[in-house]
Amino acid sequence: MNTPQVRPNLYGMGLQELGAVFEALGEKSYRARQATTSMYRQDLLDPAAWTTFSARLRRDIADRYRVERPRISERQLSDDSSVKVVLTLADGQRVEAVAMPTDERMTFCISSQAGCAFGCAFCMTAKLGFLRHLSAGEIVGQVAALMEETGTAHERYNIVFMGMGEPLHNLENVLGALRLLLNKLAFGLGPKRLTVSTVGIPEGIDRLGQEEPRPRLAVSIVSADQATREELMPSAKTFKLDAIADAMRRYGARQRDLPTIEAVMLKGINDRRHHAEALAKFALRAGAKVNLIEFNPTPELPFEPSGEDAIRHTLRILVKAGVGGTVRRSRGKDIAGACGQLALKTP
């Protein structure tokens, strides 16, 4: 018995791939630009609605291809108005994404993988293990789904790749997604509205730095003390601090925005004076600013958040050393939607 073939999905294809599709249909390459606008800018997922095409071409597309993006299957609303959603993918796999409103604009926190392979001790997503990479279409489809869910218009949101997964472990698909997000015919975002957060893969940082334009870069080192870092992040034994600092400095040299160092503040683990001094020294070498992140406790993890005094003390040491520092306050933690909590669990 023959297994029916699944039609290729146009959603997630960039201009070059779409150009090849239309060339195979006997059409001119400019059709790729029209299809890009229809799918991403207008969120039209039925080719019958692509009225810039002839009726014959619309039928040909519908017969040979599909246009599908992830759909929201579950949603939870936080007391702070953040929304966490579960998106079910075509193969039944699920991922989470979060929309976080502020006074100025919306921020979408999106996933690059189902699960994660990097095993950070302070992150609930690590408990899932690695399930699979997300395609470019599954990544940008989260953005379209969150826009629809929250009624947010184009140009009114920022995006952070801080959801499930390690973006630089799925680099080619993340690059494809970034190009669509930056494409004026598609989502039309400026590079300053995109932030890619990574555990620090030097080769991946260098590859991302070759893109033009480049998104903002954030690197979660947790601690600039190597021994502490290795206890918390298995990847620290492979990706050393010196190599990460050098890659961050190269990245920052290519653009005006300083890269960001992220440090989740864990009580008694990485919030002592010597940790702060090491963090300041690393930031100066990397040419970066620092974002201190509140740890979001969960019963499954053996950590507590640092107290306000420890966070303020760390911040003072950074500032005294000439390093820009800020504190990121949690949003959506009552629905397990805050940093490090995404694990497809109901609070």
Residue 320 makes CB contacts below 8 A (sequence gap 6+) with 280
Degrees to nearest 5, angle at CA 333 with 259 and 169: 45
Q: Max CA-CA distance within the chain?
A: 72
Asked if residue 92 lies in contact with residue 70, where contact means CB atoms within 8 angstroms, the answer is no
CA-based nearest residue to 168, from 122, 191, 202, 213: 202
Measured between alpha carbons, how far is 248 from 36 in angstroms, rounded to an integer?
A: 33
Measured between alpha carbons, how far is 35 from 38 in angstroms, rounded to an integer?
A: 5
DSSP letter at 213 equals S
Helix/strand/coil (H, E, C) string of 21-87? HHHHCCCCCHHHHHHHHHHHHCCCCCHHHCCCCCHHHHHHHHHHCECCCCEEEEEEECCCCCEEEEE
- Residue positions annotated with a catalytic role: 96, 339
